[in-house]
Amino acid sequence: MRTATSALKSKDLLGIEALLPDEIELILDTAEGFKEVSERPVKKVPALRGQLVINLFMEASTRTRVSFEIAEKRLSADTLNFTASGSSVEKGETLIDTAENLVAMHPDMIVIRAKHPGAPKMLADRLPNVSIINAGDGSHEHPTQALLDAFTIRERLGRLAGVNVSIIGDIAHSRVVRSNIHLLTKMKANVTVAAPPTLIPCEIGKMGVRVVNTLDEAVEGADVIMMLRIQLERQGKLSFPSLREYYNTFGLTPERLARASSDAIIMHPGPMNRGVEIASDVADDPKRSVILEQVTNGVAVRMAVLYLLGGAHNVE
């Protein structure tokens, strides 16, 4: 029997949209405390000892899957990795049946990445005794990515409020952009999005962001330039003439970056398509690119999320 006593109001993390600014700040502050654990000779604390976390990945992932698993191990949780490939999903078992069978073995938390928007919420509604953490659902939300992005911005620039963040790329199909817009606008940052018109959904203006149609407009005055890849797997066919033309108009090259402030930092959630949305020289810029810092910070942020949700329960 479990009872909620967390500072986070929900037992689950399904998205940024439902989080309060205070909850976002709590997660980022908690992550700040956990970052140091990964720098110790013995990279482990006993916070989740005895808890079982299942990583249920129904879609490909490198960073998120590995980062959650490392975060769980650093908190001393028991971890189990489940992927659709090689499981009875291949025999037609549904997601909910799969999850209910896993829950019958008493996990405390399930981290889920799903192709379908809303799948984590469906599990959260059906499974009241388990915390569900959304590790990316279709083009809906990717809350821990936005949290680690915010952590990285705050660490580099010292604040979120008033920071000018330009997000450039496939706005239409990106769960990262949706979570980032929710988070950054709640924390009073100024968000600009840029893409070819076919990759900007018409409702985006209602999310409180500035929309521009050229990369030059987006980088001018930006403190943070966040590049997104073209999500070819979520498009039936290219929404623009060719990848070469995309690079020529929306690829972040050293020449285009020269229009930005010399202090502007470069972010990318990964995976990167070098030579499509970003030039290698920019991605690897030792001073301005924080792309691998984002990955490092992902562990601390996911430790914070797991700790705050795992600590939300008292086992009786």
Q: Which is nearer to ligand CP, 162 or 271 (CB)?
A: 271
What is d(CA 79, CA 73) in angstroms, rounded to the nearest whole number? 7
Least distance (Å) from ligand CP to the CB of residue 305? 14
Least distance (Å) from ligand CP to the CB of residue 270? 5
Binding segment for ligand CP (CB under 6 A), chosen from 80-88, 98-106, 232-240, 269-277, is 269-277
The verdict on 115 binding ligand CP (CB under 6 A) reads no
Least distance (Å) from ligand CP to the CB of residue 63? 4
Q: Which is nearer to ligand CP, 142 or 178 (CB)?
A: 142
The verdict on 120 binding ligand CP (CB under 6 A) reads no
Q: Are 139 and 173 in contact (CB under 8 A)?
A: yes
Q: Which is nearer to ligand CP, 211 or 300 (CB)?
A: 300
Among 55, 98, 131, 145, binds ligand CP (CB under 6 A): 145
Task: Name the residue with tokens 């992927």.
Answer: 83
Among 270, 272, 293, 311, binds ligand CP (CB under 6 A): 270
The size of the interface with ligand CP (CB under 6 A), counted in residues, is: 11
Least distance (Å) from ligand CP to the CB of residue 215? 21
Least distance (Å) from ligand CP to the CB of residue 176? 7
Among 38, 61, 231, 249, binds ligand CP (CB under 6 A): 61
What is d(CA 123, CA 172) in angstroms, rounded to the nearest whole number? 25
Q: In degrees rounded to 5, what are phi and psi of residue 136?
A: 115, 115
Among 30, 51, 64, 289, binds ligand CP (CB under 6 A): 64
Strand pairing category for 265-267 and 313-315: unpaired
Burial of 85 by CB count in 10 Å (0-12 exposed, 13-18 middle, 19+ buried)? exposed
Q: Which is nearer to ligand CP, 11 or 65 (CB)?
A: 65
Listed in sequence order, the residues at least 6 apart from 269 whose beta carbon sits closer than 8 Å to its beta carbon are: 63, 142, 145, 149, 176, 226, 228, 294
What is d(CA 28, CA 146) in angstroms, rounded to the nearest whole number? 11
Q: Are 52 and 106 in contact (CB under 8 A)?
A: yes
Please count the residues of the chain: 316
Least distance (Å) from ligand CP to the CB of residue 144? 9
The verdict on 83 binding ligand CP (CB under 6 A) reads no
What is d(CA 10, CA 22) in angstroms, rounded to the nearest whole number? 13
How far does the chain reach from its first CA to its final CA, in angstroms?
6
Q: Which is nearer to ligand CP, 45 or 272 (CB)?
A: 272
Q: Which is nearer to ligand CP, 211 or 227 (CB)?
A: 227
CA-based Rg of the chain, rounded to a whole angstrom? 19
The verdict on 134 binding ligand CP (CB under 6 A) reads no
The verdict on 241 binding ligand CP (CB under 6 A) reads no
Helix (H) or strand (E) run with residue 193 in it: strand 190-194
Burial of 49 by CB count in 10 Å (0-12 exposed, 13-18 middle, 19+ buried)? exposed
Least distance (Å) from ligand CP to the CB of residue 232? 14
Binding site for ligand CP (CB under 6 A): 61-65, 136, 142, 145, 269-271
